[in-house]
Amino acid sequence: MKCDRFAREGSLALERGEPLDPHYASCADCAAALRAYRAIAGDLGGLAADAAPSGDWQARVHARIARERAPRRRWWWLALPVAAAATLALWVTRPSPVTLGLDVQVLPGPGQARAETPKAGDRVAIVATVGGEAAELRVYRGDEVLLRCSDAPPCARAEGRVSAEFVLPGPGRYRTLLVVGEAAAPSGGLDADVSAARAAGARVHLSDEIAVW
């Protein structure tokens, strides 16, 4: 099989001004190729001086190759810090996750002593931790909505919390519902409203029941 190493490597080495290793002298194929190369180079050398390339042509070819490769390489080196900065910006600007919470306390009403069980006239103090998210508080008696607010009275919204207070009007089973996210208006009673809110992608917290006899 004919050796083509001079064509692949030797001629390139000569063009770069690098020395040839001993293979090119000992290999018949490469020696022939080298002789042919030198003959052509000699012919070229005999051309009129103004037709020959200037002495720095190799340097200019290599500089041009480097220029044409450069944009791709430059893109990479620019892209990395840009991607890192974007990641950092996301990390910095993403709101820290808030642990949603719903705290419901029964307090004695004005001038009343705290009884062992809630009774009509007791106050219910509600504090929901919601961070910066849209949130709505509702109080149900059975399936009836007694209170519904988000950031207007009787709700108050401050520092990532929505709070409200109401007085237990009489006997019944009361539950407080916190809806975080976009919520549909209540329509079908507590269980149906919870299902509808969840189906709409909202998060839902439901307090324990407060029973008044």
Residues making contact with Zn ion (CB under 5 A): 3, 5, 27, 29-30
State in angstroms the smallest separation of the CB of 20 from Zn ion.
Answer: 11
For Zn ion, which is the closer residue by CB, 12 or 125? Answer: 12
Nearer to Zn ion, 29 or 165 (CB): 29
Cα angle 35-36-39, degrees, rounded to a multiple of 5: 85
- Whether 186 and 195 have beta carbons less than 8 Å apart is answered as no
CA distance 191 to 197: 10
Residue 26 vs 99, nearer CB to Zn ion: 26
Q: Are 180 and 135 in contact (CB under 8 A)?
A: yes
In whole angstroms, the minimum distance from the beta carbon of 24 to Zn ion comes to 7
Indicate the helix (H) or strand (E) that contains 138.
strand 135-141
Query: CB 4 → Zn ion: shortest distance, Å?
Result: 7
- Between 26 and 96, name the residue whose CB sits nearer to Zn ion: 26
Minimum distance from residue 13 beta carbon to Zn ion (Å): 13
CA nearest to 167, candidates 209, 91, 79, 107: 107
